[in-house]
Structure 1
Amino acid sequence: MRVDVWLWAVRLFKSRSASASLLRAGRVRVNGVVAKPSTPVKVGDRVTWRDPLRDRIVVVKELLPKRVGAPLAVEAYEDQSPPVPTREERAVVGLRERGAGRPTKRERREIDRLRGLRRG
């Protein structure tokens, strides 16, 4: 089964095109390898990607050929993602002291890395 169809069928993405665009951008990995939309997925595979708030890690428990209701979709995968950070935890990351001036290139990269905008 194609990974873009499976992600859509288990309701992790609102549309198949949304899952496919993330896959085409190279942001989804299947068992640690960057995946394309047509990458086959099987039971036991580990699928990872970055949500706006956290890293998502799901393990395939069941292959669904069609989109199903939410109660059935939740049973098709095991979510191993870390919990969503609280608002306070998100606000602390990347803050600078008032009057500290413009960040240097090195400081800017560190801020981006802490916020999860860039990997590096």
Structure 2
Amino acid sequence: MMSESGVRIDKYLWAVRLFKTRSIAAEACKKGKVMISGMPVKSSRLIKVGDEIDIRIPPIVRRFKVLDVAEKRMGAKLTPDFVRDITPPDQIELLELSKLASNANRARGLGRPTKKDRRDLERLQEGEWDF
């Protein structure tokens, strides 16, 4: 725990488990997906308590408030003491809708055939199909 000074944003995002690895967090910064005050930040940017971090995860932008800074990775149960998710409800709703839409848009027949499909095909090929 380092309350007095700042911490690199890539290290912080990894420590509070917003990214699986520090290199993935650094890559997100490099690609402009991590922003503070609407401006993309470099992975070396120091953050401090009170900063609000926006992370663009298509199709939405997640927003987090820094409650305390940390350099070392912590257990998932400890993260609420260091970061708070302040993503607007409309963004969360948009994410839920996009998940539902992606499941509903899978057209029947795409992917591998089911066992029933395979049996029907075999019956059709063997001439046992009832019209």
**Same fold by TM-score, threshold 0.5 exceeded?**
yes
Task: Give the Cα separation in 1 of the matches to 2:85 and 2:102.
Answer: 22
Is the aligned partner of 1:26 residue 2:38? no
Query: 1:1-120 to 2 correspondence within 5 Å?
Result: 1-81=7-87, 82-83=91-92, 84-86=95-97, 87-88=99-100
Task: Give the Cα separation in 2 of the matches to 1:19 and 1:51.
Answer: 12
Other structure's SS at 2:84 match: strand
**Structure 1 stretches of 4+ moved >4 Å:** 89-92
Aligned residues: 92
| Structure 1: runs of 5 or more not aligned | 93-120
Whether contact under 8 Å (1:31, 1:46) holds in the other structure is yes
Whether contact under 8 Å (1:53, 1:85) holds in the other structure is no
Sequence identity percentage: 35
More helix by share: 2
Whether contact under 8 Å (2:30, 2:42) holds in the other structure is yes
**Structure 1 residue 78: Cα displacement:** 1.2
Letter aligned with residue 100 of structure 2: E
**Structure 1 residue 34: Cα displacement:** 1.2
The 1:53/1:33 distance shift into structure 2, 3 A limit, reads closer
Render the CA deviation track for 1:65-105: whole Å, top value 9, x for unaligned.
2001001112211101132323335679xxxxxxxxxxxxx
More strand by share: 2
TM-score by length of 2: 0.63
